[in-house]
Structure formats: C-alpha cells, structure tokens
Chains A and B, each alone.
Chain A
C-alpha cells in the first residue's frame, strides 16, 4: 500500500535524523568519561590511576568527526553498540538488555490501561455532556493531566508507600526474590508496577479523555447519528458502534504521539521509583557522560517510539477503509 510505504519511508528518514543527532550530542560536551569517574571516586584514585583509566578507556582518539561518524554508522549496522564506559567493559547491548524489558512492561501496561480508561471515560462524558458527570469528570482529569509526573509520583511514594505502607516504592521486584516463572514472582512484579503505572495512567488519562471527548462530540452531531436515534437503536449501541467507532480514528493518530509522552513520563517515573528501566539508565548515563550508553539508549528509545508509531499506522489502516485504496 502506498500509504504504508510512504510512512515507512518517513520513518527511515526520521531514524537517520535521530541517529545523527544522537551522534553529535555527546560530543558537544567538554570533558571525557574518565573525568566523570574522577568525580565519583573522589580521593580514592590517585591522578596517575585516573590517567591510567583514560588510557584503558581509549578516550584519546584522534579520528576526525566525519571518520567517527562513519565508524559509528557501520558499527550500528552490525548491531555493535559499543562498550559502555560506566560499566566498562560490559557491552552497551548487554547493559540495555537488562533494563529494556521493564520499561516495555511499564510503558505498555500504562499505555493500554490509560488508553482504555481515557477513551471509555471520553465516550461517557461526551454522551452525557450536559449532566453532572461531564462537569465533574472533565475538569478533574484535566487537572490531573496538568500535575507534573514527578510530583505526583513523589507524592504517591510518600502517602501510599511510606506513610501508609500499602505498596512498595522502589525497584521492579523485591530484591529478596530470585526471578523465576513462579506466581509469587509475577505477583510481586505486578505489585511493584502498581504505583508507577498508576502515576502514569493518572496523568495520561486526561489527554485521552479530552481528545476522545471532542472528536466524539463532533461525530455525535453528524446526521447518521440522528438517523440512528430516530430509527430507535439503543443509546449504547449508537454510542459505541457508530459514535466511538468513527471517533476512534483521530484518536488513533494521536496515539503515536502519546507513545512519545509515555516514554517521557516513564523516564521521570522510573527515576522517582528507581524502577530499573531504560529511562533511569539514561539519566545515570548522562551523569556519567557514558557516550556509548547514551547513544545506545537514545537509539533504542527512538526505535521503540518509531516502531510504536508504525504499529499505530497499521492499526489506522485497519480502522479506516478510505486509506487502503491507493
């Protein structure tokens, strides 16, 4: 299909663009990874030892910027993301591998639940526009959507985790447990995911609701809705089969952008909850100026977002018949 192939082409360009930005950014900073190690191991390493580390890290490279760029691209093509300096000599791919699945878990759960909840609420308040439901639900979700992620997360940690001790406040699972396929472990993972996911969902529900509500209202004023009502179809059937089905299309297009927001929200949430995902890893990698790890993480995050967008486009093609014809 022409639509899909043009979208694919766009994603390839976007990928190249982000790879280039990815390459340039860490090189704009002064200093090198060895000096960030110096600040961490203060006073425990003699200057000679720091110098020795610099030699080992191989930071004193004299290749030109363009040469480094081509080396970088060719290494990427072979799946070589380099060796991390903060976790030297562990390869970047290994470091990311241990963290990425947690972010995917958190992100996917939050996205799905947030979407379902937001869209359902959006349908509800659009259908019951003039009642109390709309005037209560809509402003409160807008308010929730404006609260900064990290503040809500920290408040949740304090109230629900520390004061009331209802839920665990750090890590993705209880570190006393060994990861296994047992139900205790899965239950523990789910328990640890509740607060972080709830925070992200609480903030993102508002966005879904607003979009769904406005498109739903537009759709509800269409003629065929009036026709369906006149025919005597049940309100629920009209709302879902005719109203929601058509309103979902514009909402789906914004789902792609929402993935980007979920990633941002996950980053902040992970930092507050020490959730062992990719966002927190990126934050510490930036602190340690671990170029290879930063590049690898940005790449994976961008790939993820692009992939999700491609997925959304596929869903859009399924939903909207008019796009299928060339």
Chain B
C-alpha cells in the first residue's frame, strides 16, 4: 500500500537525518564525554548560560564584545581584578602599581614567571601590544584618555594619560591581555575569531566544541601552582527559561540568573546543596529625566516625583526584595564610598506623598480639575515614561512608579519600546522620562560624571553617549576633576562624600534601586563558592571577578 511504502521510506530518512545533523553541526574534536564529578581531578564545572546565547561560534577573540563565555574570565586575564564586595584591587598579572603625579600616569610592575599556554613567557611587550591593537583596530577600546603605553623594562609598563584619570586603575587595569607573539602576526584582529586561543588564564584548552556547548580544559602552564583545582568548565547555551529549569534541576553548578521566589523555586528543592547569594553590588537603576525641558529643569519637581515613589513596594514587586532601594546619594549602600550620613540627611528618596503634594503646590504647580496638575504655564503634567520592552522587570517597575506618581497629580504613561529605540531616543534627547539601566564603574566617578558632568553635555538632536538627561552641575564637575587627580582611597573618599552631598542637593536623576548581582551555587560537586559569610567575590559569571572564583573553587572529595 502507498501508506506502507511511505512509512517504510521514512525510517531510513529519519535515521539519516539524525546522522546528517549530528555530523554537520558538530565540528567537534574527540574528547572525554565530560561527565562531571567522576573523580576530583577530572571534575568539570557546569556553568549556567548567558541566558541569551543561542549558539556558540568558536569566537575566543578577547577584543571582541561578542566573544564566547569564558574568553575574558577563564582564558585571558587582566592586570588587576576589582572586587565590588570589599572594594579591593587584587594584583593579578601585575603585582603592584604606582601613580604618577596628579594621576596622569600609572606604572604597573608585572608578575614574573607567568607563561602563556603555549609556553612562551608573559612580558611587558604583551601589554603594550594589546593596547596598540585596541587603539588601531578597536577605536581605542574605550580608553580615549590613554596617550601612550610604554614598556619601561621587560616587566614594567607605564601608562600615560592626557588628563588626570584615577578611575583608570579599574579600567585599563581590568583589560585582558593578549599575547604579542600571536596577535602581532594577525592582519585583521577585528575580524579574527581566534578559534584556538593562547592565554594566561586557568582554562585555555578547548577540550571539545559544539555550537550548543563547549568545554574549556585546564591550562597546563598556569602561573598559580596547584590551581585550578579541577579539570575544566562546560558552558552550555541556554535560553533564560531553560537556564532556570536546568538550575532548578541541579544540573548547573554555578549560575547568575534571576529566579523569582528563589527560596521556594530553587532552595527548597535541595536545601543541603542549593545556595544563593544576591550581592547588592550593582549600579543604581535611575529614572532619567530630560532636564532641558520644563518642568524637569526644576529640582522641586524632580524631588517631588521621587518622593511619591514607594521604593520598598516596588522592589518587592519586581525583585522580591532581593536588592537595596535607591537613596539620595545615588550609590549602592554596599559601595565602599557610600556615606550613610548623607543618605540620612536628605528625605527625597523616602516616600511622603503629602509632602510631595505640598511641595508641588507651593512651587506653583496647581492641581487641575481631573486630578492632573498644571504647570505654571497651564500645561497638564502628563508625560511618557519609556523603557525597554524586553526588560520585563523595568516595565513592571515603570508601571509601579507610574501608579505611585499618579497620587501627586502627575500622569506618567508607560511606553515600552525596543531597547534600540529607547537608546536612540535618550541619546538624541527625544524623550521625557526614561527608566534606564545602570552605569557602573569601579569608582563613583563613572556614575556622577555620567549624570552630572558638564564636559559631556551634547545638545538635543545630537548623539550623546553620556548624560542623557543633559544636566550640567559646575560644582560637581569641579569635584569630579579633583577626584580624577586623587589616587589614594582617603583622598578619594573625601571628594566622594562631597559628590554625594551635591548629588543629594540637585537630584539630577531619580535613583530607584540597585541592580542586583545574582548568584546560584550548587555545592553537590564543588565547594568554595562566595557567599554572604565569605564575600571574596560576587556570584557573577561574566565579569573579571569570576577568575577569582574559578581559582578558588574545589571539587568535593
């Protein structure tokens, strides 16, 4: 019969199809089957994914912003590693550093005895070559203030800056270094995918590679003796949904995903082995207001809007209270620069609807007939609040904010758009209020310069890369210049206090909450993860601090 014939034909088709797919999509080398935990020395650490990567393309180019996971945390290493939980800079490929006068230069003493994974020694030439490549092929790599990078001797490198830049320690210091003997021979570093990387990091060997997951094996030449303590890391390509499922099922050893209701959804499934720690070390999530337009140029209006918001309820609704609410310094309370006295002194980040109403009325914003206030020129106070539609947490937060602000007579229409549109809007200044993401650096300089600095003001209609709200504060700008010149913690702290006071005075943006840094840890197969009682790093898997975790964690047994 026809149908029988069809069925008979299908079986070999299906088998053939499966074989074809397997063969063509692998491009894999032979290797261990990769079962984790069979014995301590062959243990493989299973990571969560990035939550977005659908496939890996064997791109281990350390200069590329889209390199596969592990490139900048396991294969390549920086000169120093900054730990946000304690504000320390850990010497890594550099052992010490000294500042030049007025923070216009920074000299690093490099570590002796470090070898690249192909056996060649690590020297100052690698550092200078890295920065040369950045300058030539990657638009400066984002360090426009670096005027020269010179190898004073084989193990001493001097950076010279065109202006005082004390935050440079955390910026150039955390740039991963690539080997000069390989990269100087590559004609087009921007287009090179670097399929077989040579690095100084703990895991540099590509044990196996498939588009859906790959395994990085131990670096035989690693400079920390005895480390790393296990054989390799596996990076699977998960979507957000399947990542959460894998974490909850215990397949993953270390991940940084947002799991709603984490105690019930995750911890309760295996209280002995499952742990979480959400360090509140992220940047501040602000409401950015366009201060070039009325009424947002009036500090009273900005503070009144801020006073209407119930930050605790907002954080509870969006993140289940896993993070800190915003305060009037604009910094996270876990920051080493945070000054609690300043935060206590000002009240515009504490909800007080009555006071906010009174402030607005006194300033001339009369309440209209339908519950919406009018500006002194008679316009109803109704504005758009835009944010990225793919960030459902920001959309939720924006809706909470709008509901709160309604109570003081200002109508905010939440308008989720694609992030590209939002970014385009804020860069060009064609927005009213935007619920934006964090701007975090290793020092508060980044945040304050971004939102209060006068040097980066760009008129409406032209592309601004910073200061979307276009607020210029001359006093803060002077303080920022002083901060950039100061390179000792005590000097920086003094200026940071003054900056916090100024921020609290002028409220250029409205701090809502701190972006949480997620972290889930499964101690069934590995121990030594960071935690609240041992905060030697955050739980983040993608950022420089991850290399400290990778060289601390041990397999069980």
CB < 8 Å neighbour of B10 from A102, A112, A240 = A112
Is A189's CB under 8 angstroms from B18's CB?
yes
> Are the CB atoms of A39 and B18 closer together than 8 Å?
no
Question: Which of A31, A38, A46, A273 is the one whose CB lies under 8 Å from B171?
Answer: A46
**Segment of B23-31, B216-224, B272-280 engaged in the interface with chain A:** B23-31
- Cross-chain pair count, CB within 8 angstroms: 229
- Contact for A52 among B141, B193, B456, B466, CB less than 8 A: B141
- Among A35, A43, A49, contact of B283 (Cβ-Cβ < 8 Å): A43
Chain A residues within an 8 Å CB radius of B52: 40, 284, 287
Q: From A52, which residue of chain B is reached at the shortest CB distance?
A: B139
Find B57's partner among A35, A94, A177 (CB 8 Å cutoff). A94
A281 CB to nearest chain B CB (Å)? 5
Q: Tell me if B362 is interfacial: C-beta within 8 Å of chain A.
A: no
| Interface pair B420/A29, CB less than 8 Å apart | yes
Check if A47 sits within 8 Å of B465, measured CB to CB: yes
Is B236 interfacial (CB 8 A cutoff)? Answer: yes
**Min distance, Cβ B241 to any Cβ of chain A, angstroms:** 7
With an 8 A cutoff between CB atoms, is B191 at the interface? yes
Chain B positions within 8 Å of A83 at CB level: 191
Q: Could you tell me the distance between the alpha carbons of A170 and B190 in the complex, rounded to whole angstroms?
A: 34
Assuming A90-B59, A177-B33, is B440 touching A271 (CB within 8 A)? Answer: no
Bound-state CA distance A90–B55 (Å) is: 11
Stretch of B204-212, B483-491, B549-557 lying at the A interface: B204-212
Shortest distance in angstroms between B323's beta carbon and chain A's nearest beta carbon? Answer: 14
B1 within 8 A of A: yes
Known: A50-B465, A98-B25. A170 touches B191 (CB 8 A): no
Please tell me which one of the listed residues B26, B144, B241, B437 contacts residue A274 in the complex, with CB atoms under 8 A apart. Answer: B241
CA–CA, A55 and B239, complex, Å: 29
Known contacts A185-B22, A284-B52; decide if A90 and B242 are in contact (CB<8 Å). no
Chain A neighbourhood of B187, CB < 8 A: none
The answer to whether B1 touches A240 (Cβ under 8 A) is yes
Binary CB contact string for chain B from 132 to 157 against chain A (1 if under 8 A, 0 otherwise): 00100111111110000000000000
* Cα(A44)–Cα(B175), bound, Å: 12
Q: Which of A55, A90, A178 contacts B210 (CB 8 A)?
A: A178
Residues of A within 8 A of B66 (CB): 37, 85-88
What residues of A have a CB within 8 angstroms of the CB of B13 in the complex?
108, 112
> Per-residue 0/1 for B226-238: is the Cβ within 8 Å of any A Cβ (1 yes, 0 no)?
0000000010111
Q: Report yes or no: B421 in contact with A53, Cβ–Cβ below 8 A.
A: no
> Within the complex, which residue of A41, A43, A46, A116 is in contact with B515, where a contact is CB–CB below 8 Å?
A43
Q: How far is the CA of A95 from the CA of B27 in the complex (A)?
A: 13
Chain B residue at minimal CB-CB distance from A32: B420
- B440 x A56 contact (CB < 8 A): no
User: Which residues of B from 34 to 77 have beta carbons under 8 Å from A?
Assistant: 34-35, 52, 54-55, 57-59, 61, 64-66
Question: Are the C-beta atoms of B245 and A105 separated by less than 8 Å?
Answer: no
B57 lies within 8 A of A179 (CB): no
Q: Which residue of B lies closest to A276 (CB)?
A: B212
Closest B residue, CB atoms, query A113? B10
Contact B440 A276 (CB under 8 A): no
**Smallest Cβ distance from A98 to chain B, in angstroms?**
4
A247 smallest CB distance to B (angstroms): 12
Which residues of chain A are near B30, meaning CB under 8 Å? 178
A30 at the A/B interface (Cβ < 8 Å)? Answer: yes
B190 touches which of A32, A50, A89, A104 (Cβ 8 Å): A89
**Bound form: Cα–Cα A38–B52 in Å:** 14
Contact A190–B54 (Cβ < 8 Å): no
Contact with A along B1-22 (1 / 0, CB 8 A): 1110011001001110111111
Determine the residue in chain B with the shortest Cβ distance to A171.
B212
Cα distance A49–B465 in the bound complex, in angstroms: 10
A292 to chain B, nearest CB (A): 13
- Contact of B383 with A by CB under 8 A: no
Flag if B65 contacts A45 (CB, 8 Å). yes
**Cβ of A95 and Cβ of B213 under 8 Å apart?**
no
Considering the complex, which residues of chain B in the window 469-525 have a beta carbon less than 8 Å from any beta carbon of chain A?
Answer: 515
- Are B193's CB and A89's CB within 8 A? yes
Flag whether B446 is at the interface (Cβ < 8 A): yes
Query: What's the minimum C-beta distance from B238 to chain A, rounded to whole angstroms?
Result: 7
Question: A56 contacts B18, CB within 8 Å?
Answer: no
A35, B193: Cβ atoms closer than 8 Å = no
Q: Is the CB of B18 within 8 A of A98?
A: no
Say yes or no for B114: interface residue by CB 8 A criterion. Answer: no
B245 pairs with A37, CB closer than 8 A: no
Residue A23, interface by CB 8 Å = no
Known A-B contacts A170-B245, A274-B241; the reply to A179 vs B34 at CB < 8 A is no
Whether A179 and B245, one on each chain, are in contact in the complex, defined by CB atoms closer than 8 angstroms, is no
Q: How large is the interface on B (under 10, 10 to 19, 20 to 34, 35 or more residues)?
A: 35 or more
Chain B residues near A31 (CB-CB < 8 A): 418-421, 423-424
B29 → chain A closest CB, angstroms: 8
Q: Give chain A nearest CB distance to B18 CB in angstroms.
A: 5
Instruction: Decide if A164 is an interface residue (CB 8 Å cutoff).
Output: no
Judging by beta carbons under 8 Å apart, are A175 and B242 in contact? no
Q: Does chain A have a CB within 8 A of B335?
A: no
Most buried by A among B26, B66, B139, B141: B66
Rounded to whole Å, the gap between the CB of A226 and the closest CB of chain B is 23
Query: Bound complex: CA of A39 vs CA of B438, how far in Å?
Result: 10
The complex places the Cα of A35 from the Cα of B427 at a distance, in Å, of 10
A42 contacts partner chain B, Cβ-Cβ < 8 Å = yes
B173 at the interface (CB under 8 A from A): no
Q: Would you give the shortest CB distance from B285 to chain A, in whole angstroms?
A: 9
Q: C-beta contact mask, A252-292 vs B, less than 8 Å → 1, else 0?
A: 00000000000000000001111010001100100101000
Task: Give 1 or 0 for each of B295-338: 1 = CB within 8 Å of chain A CB.
Answer: 00000000000000000000000000000000000000000000
User: Which residues from A are CB-within-8-Å of B340?
Assistant: none
User: A276, B55: Cβ atoms under 8 Å?
Assistant: yes
Contacts of B190 in A (CB 8 A): 56, 89
Indicate if B384 sits at the interface (CB-CB under 8 A).
no
| The residue from A51, A240, A280 contacting B465, defined by CB atoms under 8 A apart | A51
* Interface residue? B396 (CB, 8 A): no
Contacts A102-B25, A177-B33, A287-B390 given; indicate if A48 touches B143 (C-beta within 8 A).
yes
Report the nearest B residue to A45, measured CB to CB: B142
Please state if B59 and A276 are interface contacts (CB–CB under 8 Å). Answer: no
A176 touches B34 (CB 8 A): yes
Q: Mark interface residues in A130-159 (1 if CB within 8 Å of B CB, else 0).
A: 000000000000000000000000000000
User: Are A39's CB and B2's CB within 8 A?
Assistant: no
Which residue on chain A has the smallest CB distance to residue B30?
A178
Question: Counting CB contacts under 8 A, is A81 at the interface?
Answer: no
For A176, the chain B residues whose CB sits under 8 A away are 33-35, 234
Known contacts: A86-B66, A88-B65, A175-B213. The answer to whether A39 contacts B388 by CB under 8 A is yes
Distance in angstroms between the alpha carbons of A169 and B246 in the assembled complex: 10
Chain A residues lying within 8 Å of B20, measured Cβ to Cβ, are 101
Q: How far is the CA of A179 from the CA of B239 in the complex (A)?
A: 20
Q: List the A residue with the shortest CB-CB distance to B420.
A: A31
Chosen A-B contacts, 23 in total, with CB atoms closer than 8 Å, are: A31-B419, A36-B420, A37-B66, A46-B441, A47-B450, A52-B134, A52-B139, A53-B139, A88-B66, A89-B193, A95-B55, A99-B54, A101-B24, A104-B17, A112-B13, A170-B242, A176-B34, A178-B34, A180-B26, A180-B28, A181-B22, A240-B1, A274-B241
Q: Which 10 A-B pairs have the closest CB atoms?
A: A49-B142, A31-B420, A52-B139, A179-B26, A170-B242, A47-B465, A42-B437, A55-B139, A39-B419, A43-B438
